[in-house]
Structure 1
Amino acid sequence: MKLRNPRNFEKPEIIIIPMIDIMFFLLVFFMISTLSMVDLKTTDVNLPKAQNVQTNLSVTYLVTIRQDGSLWLQDKPIGVEDLIRRAQVEQSKNSKFAVAIRADEKVEYKDLMGLMDRLKGAGITRFALAAEKK
């Protein structure tokens, strides 16, 4: 039996360029798939602009007040009484329940405060007001 000389063995080469290409492909794939997971189902409104806006995706209820005064929960129209009733049910289930209000910039202040007052009277204490970054 003929034995090989250990000094004549060639070390295997690792070609790293295809590995880098695959890693970049995976990075782009996961970035795009993550962006598609954050889908806010809302109606279009012209939000007021503010300099110091924070993004908070942990809000459980997204209420929209359109310019005509109509209320929308997520992407469906809803009445005030039904909205308050549903919010009370959610508040009883989740202690960290919060309502984010997206009001059109032309909605009157009294309408916005009226909705917040009704929600506060129903026991909802955590609110957020949505705005666009300047």
Structure 2
Amino acid sequence: MRRRAIDEPEVPSQINIVPMIDVIFAILTFFIMSTLFLGRFEGLAVNLPKAQSAKPQKTIRATVTLDKQGTLYLNKSPLAIDTLSNAVRQLDEPGKDLVVVLNADGSVTHDRVVAVMDQIRQVEGAKMAIATKRQ
């Protein structure tokens, strides 16, 4: 018995790019989502006062925020003004600079801002910066 070769049409080689496109979109989505979390969002959104001499801080370890109502936050956690100095002291690590940035809404009274600044200055070795918008 002799076998006959069956004439099958030759199928050309193909590269299916649909799975590759899916992988590329998944990687792109990952990078977009991860860059959203790389921004500095230490403080809460407040209406900052403007200053021409504003300079960015390189090392920020604590952010104190005073909103319109005068509510005090330390790194987005509400806090009583009496406990602020102790809470900031707990953030201090030996050998590292402790920079505390004060984000105060422009409508907060001067009295309240000075009281918060006084609490921060009670922490030995803490450097204080006041957040402003550049004019």
Q: TM-score, normalised by structure 1?
A: 0.65
- 1:115 matched to 2:116: yes
- Describe the superposition over 1:19-68 as per-residue Cα deviations: whole angstroms up to 9, x where unpaired: xxxxxxxxxxx899656412314221100011222122411001101121
Separation (CA, whole Å) in 1 of partners of 2:81 and 2:111: 15
The residue that corresponds to 2:106 in the other structure is 105
Q: Report 1:51-66 matches (<5 A).
A: 51-66=52-67
Superimposed CA distance per residue, residues 92-120 of structure 1 (whole angstroms, 9 cap, x where no aligned partner)? 54541010000000111121111111221
CA 1:54–1:35 in structure 2 vs 1: closer, same or farther (change >3 Å)? farther
1:1-134 correspondence to structure 2 within 5 Å:
36-91=37-92, 93-134=94-135
Task: Give the letter for the 1:60 counterpart.
Answer: R
Which of the pair has more CA radius of gyration? 2
Contact 1:98 1:126 in 2 (8 A): yes
- The answer as to whether partners of 1:100 and 1:129 remain within 8 angstroms in 2 is yes
Change (3 A) 1:98 1:66: same
> Relative to structure 1, is the Cα distance of residues 41 and 89 closer, same or farther in structure 2, using a 3 angstrom cutoff?
closer
Instruction: Check whether the contact 1:102–1:130 (CA below 8 A) recurs between aligned residues.
Output: yes
| Overall identity of the aligned pairs, in % | 25
| Structure in which a larger fraction of residues adopt helix | 1
Q: What value does the CA root-mean-square deviation take over the aligned residues?
A: 2.5
How far 1:74 moved relative to its partner?
2.1
Report how many residues are paired: 106
